[in-house]
Amino acid sequence: MPPAVKEKSKQAAHAKPPALPKRTHKTKFQADLAPSEDQMVRALKAELQMSSNSDFLSDALTLFRWAVSERKRGHRIVSESSTGERKILLFPRLERVAPEVTLPHVDIRWTDRELGSLAELVSGQPAEPTAALIRAMRR
């Protein structure tokens, strides 16, 4: 093998490999849809002139993320008709991220014994959660 070539191949062995274009990791998303939901997706895709499920999901995600961020900031999502009639979107899952979970303040009557018992519990170690409580929090 001619030396020049040998040298070149040595250099090649020590040279850093050329940077490959970054691969974007894509996650597959699969959903079981009821026939009515499948129909709804098809109808929406047709209405929006979308051909791929990926585009559909991507746009739906953008819209959902926007709704969540608005609700998180305490903004309400309102639709307004041409006559000025307004409707507020109430979507239970969105309400979960809304900051206005503050509840009105009320006074409760306490007996001295109840307060003693309360103080003892509050200042002590918390009880371990029961199985029903764990299930309730997982729901």
Partner 1 sequence: MAVTIRRLEEFDEVAGFDCGDEPLNNCLKRHAWTNQQKASIGVIYVAVDESAPRTVLGYFTLATSSVPRERFSQMYVRGLPPYDLPLVLLARLAVDRRFSGRGLGHALISEALKITLRVADEVGCRCIVTDAYPDKAGWYARYGFIPLEGASASGPQRMFLDVRTIRRASSFESSPAER
- Which residues form the interface with partner 1 (CB under 8 A)? 90, 92, 95-96, 99, 101-108, 110-124, 126-130, 132-139
Minimum CB distance to partner 1, residue 125 (Å): 9
Torsion from C-alpha of 38, 44, 76, 80, nearest 10 degrees: -140
Minimum CB distance to partner 1, residue 135 (Å): 8
Contact 74, 98 (CB under 8 A): yes
Cβ proximity to partner 1: between 47 and 107 the closer is 107
Minimum CB distance to partner 1, residue 45 (Å): 24
- Among 93, 22, 102, CA closest to 64: 93
Contact 132, 107 (CB under 8 A): no
- Among 77, 52, 51, CA closest to 64: 77
Minimum CB distance to partner 1, residue 21 (Å): 38
